[in-house]
Structure 1
Amino acid sequence: MRLEESGSHTVWDCKYHIVWVTKYRYPVLVGDVGLRARELLREIPRSHEMSIPAGAINRDHVHMLFSIPPHLSVSRAVQYLKGKSSHKLLSEYQSLRKRYWGQHLWSRGYWAATSGNVTDEIWKKYIEDQKPEEPDDNFKVV
């Protein structure tokens, strides 16, 4: 993994650990829905110059360590990730549309921390050690 990214006039290293949950903490990120969520959460950041060094999707929440360019705020980055993934998942899965009839897959907020106070290796280990209470097919985003 590179230590920093570069733009035309900047060199930067802005990494954040972000966690968000499904609305009402329903355990819907399993099976095909979980796999599709993983694909989407890998695709969406590419179009905004973001990268994902580590991540894990559990039944009812998502952990991600991702790198955001300095011109993009954390809230805007999370808005892209949650908004686009929610829209696509709800449009592709009837079971989700039935459960989330209000068009909101994700809960409103999120938790964020910079990785500056802790090394990236510690964040990665923490994310890898996140285990659901029941086996969850060892589902990880890498």
Structure 2
Amino acid sequence: MSRFQKLSQTIWHCQYHIVWVPKYRYRVLHGEIAREVENLIRAFSHQLKCEIIELNVQIDHVHLLVMIPPKVSISNYMGAIKGRTAIRILNRFKKLRQKPYWGNHFWSRGYCVDTVGLDGEMIRKYVKYQEENERRDEQQGLF
């Protein structure tokens, strides 16, 4: 089986590692909010015909390894994901809107994106196990 995907006149393998944070990097992505963010990212990615390889919602940031077809730009993908999840999260969890610093924004303005080449398996493992590694480092007093 080939690692490439097919469109009508294109074969492609466009894999990206994307990281973004809530506004002011507040540590709000836990419990029900984290589960809802993960479900929304998966649903909106599916609607855009993007395949999630790994997704890790941590308390203050999101790591995503995703395959995005070439007809969808990264900026359009992130605009849809961040915009639509923010609307849903702020509507569902009204307590977040009560804070004066949120306004109508849930996510910070930017994001980090990196293309994944032949080291995709290494990056997939990093995204999957990063939270465990951070927890272990904290217990050992490295942070």
Superposition TM-score, scaled by structure 1 size = 0.87
Unaligned runs of 5+ in 1: 136-142
Q: Distance in 2 between matches of 1:130 and 1:103?
A: 30
Q: CA deviation at 1:2?
A: 6.2
Deviations 1:21-61 (A, max 9, x none): 00011111111111111110110011111110111000110
| 1:95 alignment counterpart | 95
Q: Distance in 1 between matches of 2:62 and 2:2?
A: 24
Kindly report the root-mean-square deviation, in angstroms, between the aligned alpha carbons of the 2 structures: 1.8
> Structure 1 residues 127 and 2, CA, compared in 2 at 3 Å: closer, same or farther?
farther
| 2:105 alignment counterpart | 104
Determine which structure has greater relative contact order: mean sequence separation of CA pairs < 8 Å that are 6+ residues apart, divided by chain length.
1
| 2:50 alignment counterpart | 50
Number of corresponding residues:
134
Which aligned runs of 4 or more in structure 1 are off by greater than 4 angstroms?
A: 132-135
Identity over aligned residues, as a percent? 39
Deviations 1:69-99 (A, max 9, x none): 1011111111111111111111110122223
The higher radius of gyration belongs to 2
Q: Distance in 2 between matches of 1:134 and 1:93?
A: 27
Unaligned runs of 5+ in 2: 137-143
